[in-house]
Amino acid sequence: MNSLGIIETIGLAAAIQAADAACKAANVNCIGYRTVGSGRVNICFVGEISAIRTAIEYGISVVKSEQRLASLIIARPEESVVAALQTLKGRGFYLTHKPAVFKAAVMPEITRSHENKEQKVSIKKGQKS
């Protein structure tokens, strides 16, 4: 069963450090990040619930206490939650190479929108698609 994990830090460097540690600690995939404002950065992970718990615990343990804000684990997230994460930065590689992680109805739409964006960019650059 797939789950969602989130780590919130202050600063991008702390977020990268947490993401690296989390991905090394367990078999999870980082699906992207979001800057919230005031230096806050949220990093999202997907994977099995036990792997998410291990990854989140290890990810927050390597970040300094003053840079660590919050963490969240959601087992079996609702499809609307996954749909809300469509605007995450850094999600292109994950969706083009591992589209079957969530079997929610929104996944084909996300993949299609990503492919359409790539086609539009290549057309703007004068390349044939």
Query: pLDDT tens across 26-63, in order?
Result: 999 998 899 988 999 999 999 999 999 999 999 999 99
Q: Which pLDDT score, from 0 to 100, does residue 83 have?
A: 76
Q: Which tens digits make up the pLDDT trace of 66-83?
A: 999 999 999 999 988 877
Buried b / exposed e across 51-83, counting CB within 10 Å, b at 16+?
A: bbbbbbbbbbeebeeebbbebebeeebeeeebe
| The amino acid at 2 | N
Q: Which tens digits make up the pLDDT trace of 1-30?
A: 589 999 999 999 999 999 999 999 999 999
Predicted model pTM: 0.68
Span 2-124 CATH architecture = 2-Layer Sandwich (3.30)
CA distance 72 to 65: 16
